[in-house]
Structure 1
Amino acid sequence: MSVLELVDTTTPPLATMTVTCEKPAAPAFADVEQLVDRILATVGYEITLGVPLAIGKPVAFVNALYQRAKADARITLRIETGISLEKPVGKSALEKRFLDPFVAREFAGVPDLDYITDLRRNQVPANITVSEFFFKAGSFLNSPQQQNYTSTNYTHAVRDLLDKGVNVVAQLVAKRTVDGVTTYSLCSNSDLALDFAPLMEEMKENGTPVAMVAEVNSNMPFMHNHAEVADNVFDWVLDQNLTPGHQDYALFAAPHASISPEDHLIGFYASTLVKDGGTLQVGIGSLSSALISSTLLRHQQNDVYHQVMNELNVAKKFPISQKIGDSSTFKQGLYGCSELMVDGFVHLYKAGILKREVFEDLTIQTLLNQQKITPDVSVTTLTTLQDHGAIASQLTRDDVDYLKRVGVFNADVQFDRGQLSVGQLQVAANLNNADSIAWIEQHCLGNQLSGGVVMHGAFFVGPKDFYDALNTMSESDHQKFCMTSVNYVNDLYDHFLGSQQLKQAQRQHARFINSAMMVTLSGAAVSDALENGQVVSGVGGQYNFVAQSHQLHDSRSIMKLRSCAMRNGELKSNILFNYGHTTIPRQLRDIVITEYGIADLRSKPDHVVYTELIKIADSRFQPQLLAQAKAAGKVAKDYTLPPEFCNNTPEAIQRVYQKFAQQQVFSPFPFGCSFTAEELQLGKALKSLKAKTATTGGKLKCMLKALTTTVHDAGLRPLLKRMDLSDPKTIQDKLTQRLLIAELKGR
């Protein structure tokens, strides 16, 4: 259902459309400078600009406003946002040689955000401040921007931005005109705008000068349902397509990331916990792609899936997979409820896995959950609604309107003075009359319930083929995907788009799957920052989904992480005895997954929590972790790890991975690859070289090897050419060439 319509809820809806319906259509500007003039004339020279995270930023407008403030010190500009995307930039000479051609190809036509460019150069003037509530992961470590970070849950972003005095809200939209009616789509970012719109309208009515601004980009996928809004929701629209010959800039697309063997096993373990007929939430990155890949494997090659399960001995070692999970194909299918709609959901949809429809009517949803009706309409649907008091036996006009709205009746059914009519035929609207029921079955019933969606999301970002898939979806497929408010997706509280009862009914058997950087033996998760206070990314919606999982009786929170990582050139465990920062507190611990298995922590005493986590740690760190736990009195002094959990090694991972890779399972790029074959080979070499040179000793060792390496090798010529190192001139380039050759030969 579009927000162009009023939504039935148990709480009064905010005046999202009832206020704005009195407004005329938003004036459109073809010239961005004229729009900036209008903004300054309306709200004044003190501007706090709120723009959405990721690809929803209206780059042309933001850049123009930023440059105006940069040129005019009278303007005070604060930009409030999150996840400011920027093209990859190499830090070393080798990285630059690798990345520059790749970036030129993959990000052709994608504009830079001027404020990010200036932040990197330390050139943001004193009258401008940029503040974010979620960093692109790792993008501002050791940066002055750490001082401008705002820690908040995603669901509180609108509140916090208003507290900061946001008076201009702007975002990228798509536009379409059908039968003379123009509407806009919030596309990738319905997350905050749906909640901002009524609040900004109230502020204007109270005399506060504020503005809602849209920037049209024809490359944006036009999303329907809640994301589609009237042409008067915004105050002004920047539509540069009004200028003949204009071409909209390309959207920022995240290249497909490779999935490591460790990631694949983490994803596989997580897939065993997903229940048919349930609800799925995932995040971004290779861990999530790995989960999607294994979920597809489970459905499409179920025999191979069980071979992997048997190889890993999942059922015996991790009985939680049998208790709450599933390993069969998806008959009922899944419903997606995720703040971030990743490309994986489209893959699940095309595979027939993402197919469990949910509805905006609580009675319909409840009866579906109880399997008293199905999405296929029959006379039983009608009588069941009657039995449960949704409609009267003697149908009223309101009953008929309701039945037509939910798809039980066809649109051409009419009601007048107790009679149902279709064309010239009519019958008494009495469901206790057998003849009336037979007539209704023949003339009135629809085929399927209407308004069902398989996905609720708050924002999306992904690779190019993801945007292409959304842009080329049929109208009927598009209606199955609903981009909506982040407060609808991330919280269970009543919202003007749906009540708490409705959300609970929709989100049965939910698996809220997130990623962490580290986990302590007490079960606390570290996901957004380091113990020195430096922010890596942000809390976003992680806390909300964890809290939700504990509120829904049949749902679980699942935290994925790699068992160890290189930090400062040294291998460290990501399962730690303790840590000086927590994102998710220990009392909300639930399920944790590494490449070595599943730890079921919920409702368990501390000695079980500690030992379950040690069981899925890398065996190189298990003795130390166990000793620390015993020293603290958290584990009995005579406890020993069961032998089946003492072989958690990279070699064990490789044996499983290689065995099934031969069957085309666990591909590094199951959903496509943005890199050429040469770039893949070079990328592996550069990653390895970077790890080896992370320490002074490692650098000296690599340089010594480079100096003694034979330069001439015909097989490496294409790779050297790609790196523009075929004929190095300077001493630095010659050394760089030798370092690369030595690494390539070593591989």
Structure 2
Amino acid sequence: MTEERTGAHFRQAERCAEELIRRLDGDVRIALPLGLGKPVHLINALYRRACEDPKIRLHIMTALSLEKPGGGNSLQKRLMEPFVERVFEGVPELAYAQAVSRGELPDNVTVTEFFFKAGSRLGNPDQQQRVVLTNYTHVVRDLLALGVNAVGQMLAPDDEGHQVSLSCNPDLTLDILPELRKQRESGQAVVIAGELNPELPWFGNDAALDRDTFDLVLEPHNQPMRLFPVPDLPVEPADYLIGFYAANLVRDGGTLQVGIGALGSAVVYNILFRHRDNGLFNELSRRLDAHSRFPELAAIGGSGRFEEGLYGCSEMMVEGFLHLYQAGILKRQVVADRALQQLLDDGVIPDPLDISALDRLCEAGCIETVLKARDVQWLVRFGFLDDACELKGGRLALGDEAVRPDLGDEKARALIEQYALKEQLDGGVVMHGGFFLGPERFYQGLRELDDAQRARFDMTSVGFVNHLYDHPLGDQALKTAQRRRSRFINSVMMQTLNGAAVSDGLEDGRVVSGVGGQYNFVAMAHELPEGRSILTLRATRISAGRPESNIRFSYGHCTIPRHLRDIVVTEYGVADVRGQPDVEVYKRLICIADSRFQNELMREAKKAGKIPKDWKVPRAHRNNYPQRIAEAMAPLRDHHQLFPAFPFGTDFTEVEQGLVQALQWLRDATGSRRGLLAVLWRALRQSAPGAAERPALERMGLTQPGGWRERLEQRLVIHALRVTGVTRTQ
């Protein structure tokens, strides 16, 4: 095949980039998906050409540009560099993102993002100035305002060559394509470009498009195509307790949204824990005295197994949703028909199916008693009848049988039930997601789903997922019916006593990450019947080597305003603050703060007149200390092997896992000058390394230190390993 045989198919990224530049007359304003779905080879070729030719103008508009992790200090580099070399082998890198990190973008190249990897651009003035802060559902509008004239997307090819899948990122693409077509119809130059990657898991439903949707299609030849694997973060004991309380708030038969990271993993782990080991789950409740201290747990959520199951509706499909599906929890099907959805929610449709299911559909007006062609097509579409069923010559063809399609005829009913009716409804989906991102084992797990399983997952538009407004893929009434008992669980950095939450930026104006879809889900929870927003955070953080409270009296920035306050969860419990007067909001949030900071929070609240002068923290909430967490979890962790550091697996070896824990402690403990001196003093007094430390020292290249710096690093590693209990104290 020659490069121009179809006028759109390319094997070399450079030629595809040249054609894109030619069609846009050297002024390329290209939108790329958030996270995984960037066409790496195409955008790298575009970036190289812009670097070579200053007359080309390249504006890249995107979010979450993925880069391989690096280490900060010498010890972190010793740990991470071999890990990155091993885990990221064959993963292509984004050249523009590397240039952004180095501060080396040429003058004719601009990068605008609406979401950063948390903290990655705090010290980058160029990106702090160019960031566009917007709700996820407003990104398409804002891209159009910035003058976007091209889209680039990684695509999964089908086996026949007729279709492609948006796979990991239909989130914005589905909504921006119609807008770009309008621009083209008005005479503007527009290019829609795709890059095929057979490593990308195929998803159909809304994500499947005809290949000719794309003007240019790059099929890279002899290029690395591995998908970017996101390394797992360790889940700390505090995270697990946050996840435990959040799991108690989830209603069986409801809807779940959860985010990425350690807190998201902890939530999913505890939902699995509640379902699989319900007795132990409730034993932990008793050890924490959870239900007597927080009676809202029973009123809002539940503590039993998930018999009805859950439906996932989340802008990000995290790995945890795959685990929930495999465990038989993510099984509540939703369908694109409001009347049928209501019947399913009301429990009217029998499971397994029998002929009475069709009677109930007749009573609801979904089908007629004497089936017409549209009725048969509807029943096949939503999985009631076998795919081969069709109406021919006024009779219903059932394999070798053909009957009058009359549900009032007993013989016809018996034959339909015997030959056509499926055992279980299979025409719905259990998950609507906007994008996915995770470790390699997650991608492999998605690839291993069979066609029927994969059809249960609908990767689609965030315009559909993230709010309730009417959308071409579903109107507000349908979404409301699907999203019953919604629990939207998101993490924040800080929570103020007035109910406002801080999750995307600092009070000096710098952007840590971005709003993303968090505001969308918080607001939607207030609109849905029985919907709740659950914001999670650790009660404390380590700053300059010392603990600080993440529950603050006030802060000079907020992401979620106080009038949208709902449920807040820390490792110390739950504060249900929706619809409460300020005095109750302040009290309840103080009750889930770390007890080392409760007195100061009370003092400030009383000074401002927000709580009575004589109010005290109830006795049940005065023991909010880290050691209490350890005491409550220890029996379950030690005797039942629960709450591992990496609940769903990790690319770190066992030795590396211990080093991750030790180096995290070392980073926190040396955050202040005083802490640094104390750690150095104790490290220098450590005895010689023993057999327990040898594997870790070998991994760090410190078994035979060559100079004073390496000898000091060896002592620091030994000290950190022993303090954290990774190795036995010598």
Q: TM-score w.r.t. structure 1 length?
A: 0.93
Partners of 1:26 and 1:237 within 8 A in 2: no
Provide the residue aligned with 1:743 in structure 2.
720
Alpha-carbon spacing, 1:539–1:375, altered in 2? closer, same or farther (3 Å): farther
> Equivalent residue for 1:198?
178
**What residue is the counterpart of 1:722 in the other structure?**
699
In the alignment, is residue 148 of structure 1 matched against residue 130 of structure 2?
Answer: yes
Question: Superposition pairs for residues 309-324 of structure 1, below 5 Å?
Answer: 309-324=285-300
Q: 1:428 to 1:710 in 2, by over 3 A?
A: closer
Alpha-carbon distance in structure 2 between the residues aligned to 1:74 and 1:528: 36
Q: Map 1:240-255 to 2 at 5 A.
A: 240=220, 243=221, 246-255=222-231
Question: Partner residue of 2:727?
Answer: none
| Aligned partners of 1:184 and 1:228 also within 8 Å | yes
Displacement, 1:416? 4.8
What is residue 71 of structure 2 aligned with on the other side?
90
Instruction: Provide the secondary structure at the position in 1 that maps to 2:162.
Output: strand
Matched, 1:557 2:538: no
Residue aligning to 1:285: 261
Structure 2 match to 1:699: 676
1:529 to 492, 495, 505: 505
| Match 1:70 to one of 51, 57, 73 | 51
Deviations 1:570-622 (A, max 9, x none): 32111111111110111110000000000011111111111000000000000
Structure 2 counterpart of 1:101, which letter? P
Matches of 1:383 and 1:128, distance apart in 2: 63
- 1:697 positional shift: 2.1
Distance 1:344 1:536, change over 3 A: same
Counterpart position of 2:651: 674
User: Could you tell me how far 1:341 is from its partner in structure 2?
Assistant: 0.5
Q: Of 22, 30, 33, which residue of structure 2 is paired with 1:52?
A: 33
Question: Which residue of structure 1 lines up, in the alignment, with residue 154 of structure 2?
Answer: 172
Helix, strand or coil at the partner of 1:232: helix
Q: 1:513 aligns with which of 477, 489, 502?
A: 489
Q: Distance in 2 between matches of 1:440 and 1:348?
A: 34
Measure the CA separation in 2 of the matches of 1:704 and 1:328.
Answer: 51
- What residue number does 2:241 align with? 265
**Structure 1's 433 and 544: CA in aligned 2 closer, same or farther, altered over 3 A?**
same
Contact 1:458 1:489 (C-alpha < 8 Å) held by counterparts: yes
What's the CA shift for 1:440? 3.6
Deviation of 1:300 (Å): 0.8
CA drift at 1:392: 2.7
CA distance in 1 between partners of 2:537 and 2:21 (Å): 47
How far is 1:436 from its partner?
A: 4.2
Q: Separation in 2 of the partners of 1:496 and 1:712?
A: 65
Matched with 2:711 is: 734
Does the CA-based 8 Å contact 1:454-1:480 persist in structure 2? yes
Give the match for residue 728 of structure 2: none
What residue is the counterpart of 1:617 in the other structure? 593
SS in 1 for 2:320: helix
Summarize the alignment of residues 302-701 of structure 1 with structure 2, pairs less than 5 Å apart: 302-374=278-350, 376-416=352-392, 418-422=394-398, 425-662=401-638, 663-701=640-678
Post-superposition offset of 1:423: 5.6
Letter in structure 2 aligned against 1:76: R
State how far apart, in whole Å, the 1-side matches of 2:283 and 2:331 are. 26
> Which of 181, 201, 208 in structure 1 is aligned with 2:188?
208
Letter paired with 1:51 = L
Residues 113-135 of structure 1: per-residue CA shift (max 9 Å, x gap): 11121122221111111111000
Task: Report the alpha carbon displacement of residue 417 of structure 1 after superposing the two structures with TM.
Answer: 5.8
Instruction: State whether residues 543 and 671 of structure 2, in contact with CA within 8 Å, keep that contact through their aligned partners in structure 1.
Output: no
- How far apart are the structure 1 equivalents of 2:554 and 2:656? 40
Q: 1:708 offset after TM fit, Å?
A: 4.2
**What is the aligned partner in structure 2 of residue 226 from structure 1?**
206
Partner of 1:21: none
Q: Which residue does 1:131 correspond to in 2? A: 112
SS of aligned partner of 2:195: strand
Distance in 2 between residues matched to 1:529 and 1:212, nearest whole Å: 33
Query: Contact (CA 8 Å) 1:218, 1:248: kept in 2 or not?
Result: no
| Residue identity matched to 1:159 | R
Contact kept, 8 Å, 1:75 with 1:127, in 2: the verdict is yes
Q: Which moved more, 1:711-720 or 1:511-520?
A: 711-720
Give, in whole Å, the separation in 2 of the partners of 1:193 and 1:735.
52
Aligned-residue CA RMSD (Å): 1.9
The one-letter code of the counterpart of 1:674 is D
Contact residue 360 and residue 451 of structure 1 kept, 8 A? no
What is the rounded CA distance, in whole Å, between the counterparts of 2:215 and 2:313 in structure 1? 31
When structure 1 is superposed on structure 2, of 613-622 and 305-314 the one drifting more is 305-314
Change (3 A) 1:315 1:702: closer
**1:24-43 alignment to 2 at 5 Å?**
27-43=8-24
Residues 1:186 and 2:163 are matched in the alignment: no
Structure 1 runs not aligned, ≥5 long: 1-23
CA-CA distance at 1:198 after TM superposition: 1.8
Q: Secondary structure at the match of 1:547?
A: helix
Q: Which amino acid aligns with 1:297?
A: F
SS at match of 1:201: helix
Give CA-to-partner distance per residue, 1:671-700, whole Å, 9 cap, x none: 113222222222222222222221122223
Question: Are the equivalent residues in 1 in contact too, given 2:398–2:416 (CA < 8 A)?
Answer: no
How far off its partner does 1:401 sit? 2.4
- Structure 1 window deviating more from structure 2 (550-559 vs 25-34): it is 25-34
Alpha-carbon distance, 1:257 to partner: 1.7
State the partner residue of 1:116: 97
Instruction: Return the alpha-carbon distance in structure 2 between the equivalents of residues 424 and 70 of structure 1.
Output: 67
User: What is the distance in 2 between the residues matched to 1:99 and 1:679?
Assistant: 9
When structure 1 is superposed on structure 2, of 406-415 and 282-291 the one drifting more is: 406-415
Q: Answer whether contact 1:26 1:232 (CA < 8 A) is retained.
A: no
Give the Cα–Cα distance (whole angstroms) in 1 for the partners of residues 672 and 390 of structure 2. Answer: 79
- Residue identity opposite 2:476 in structure 1: Q
Residue 161 (str. 1) matches residue 147 (str. 2):
no
Check conservation: 2:149, 2:189, Cα contact below 8 A.
yes
Q: Which moved more, 1:380-389 or 1:648-657?
A: 380-389
Q: Which moved more, 1:645-654 or 1:371-380?
A: 371-380
Deviation string, structure 1 residues 481-500 (Cα, Å, up to 9, x no partner):
11111111101111111111
CA distance in 2, matches of 1:95, 1:441: 65
- SS state at 1:441 partner: helix
Q: How far 1:73 sits from its partner (Å)?
A: 0.3
Query: Given the superposition, is the C-alpha separation of residues 220 and 443 from structure 1 closer, same or farther in structure 2, using an over 3 Å criterion?
Result: closer
Asked whether the equivalents of residues 63 and 115 of structure 2 are also in contact (C-alpha less than 8 Å), the reply is yes
SS in 2 for 1:116: helix
- Alpha-carbon shift at residue 706 of structure 1 (Å): 4.0
Q: Secondary structure at the match of 1:572?
A: strand
Q: Any conservation in 1 of the 2:278–2:305 contact (CA below 8 Å)?
A: yes
Quote the Cα distance in structure 1 between the aligned partners of 2:413 and 2:318: 45
The letter of the residue matching 1:676 is T
CA contact (8 A) 1:80 1:161 kept: yes
Q: Which amino acid aligns with 1:701?
A: A
Offset of residue 418 of structure 1: 4.4
* Alpha-carbon distance change, 450 to 719 in structure 1, aligned in 2, over 3 angstroms: closer
Give the total of aligned pairs.
718
Aligned letter for 2:64? I
Q: 308-317 or 731-740: which moved more?
A: 731-740
